[in-house]
């Protein structure tokens, strides 16, 4: 029983290592380069990592809402 368990653990560990190394080429690096202010945009309908660097979208300016003050009499 102990030998079967050890063999199963070794096989699962080997499969985990093989799956991890098989995905090593899928690390495309950072998506945002804060030093240059650029963001990576992937090409539409493409999941192979192809794309281009462009300026990051600017956050919208804060909008202040003015509410009328109630009149005091």
Buried b (16+ CB within 10 A) or exposed e, 23-59: eeeeeeeeeeeeeeebbbeeeeeeeeeeeeeeebeee
Q: What is the pLDDT of residues 23-48, one digit of tens each?
A: 656 666 667 777 888 888 877 776 66
Residue 68 has pLDDT above 70, yes or no: yes
This prediction has a pTM of 0.37
Q: Mean pLDDT throughout 7-29?
A: 75
Q: How confident is the model at residue 3 (pLDDT cuts 50, 70, 90)?
A: very high
């Amino acid at each position: 029983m102990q030998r079967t368990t050890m063999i199963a653990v070794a096989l699962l560990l080997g499969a985990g290592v093989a799956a991890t190394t098989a995905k090593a080429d899928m690390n495309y690096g950072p998506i945002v380069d804060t030093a240059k202010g650029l963001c990576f945009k992937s090409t539409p309908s493409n999941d192979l990592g192809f794309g281009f660097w462009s300026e990051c979208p600017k956050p919208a300016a804060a909008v202040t809402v003015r509410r009328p003050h109630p009149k005091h009499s």
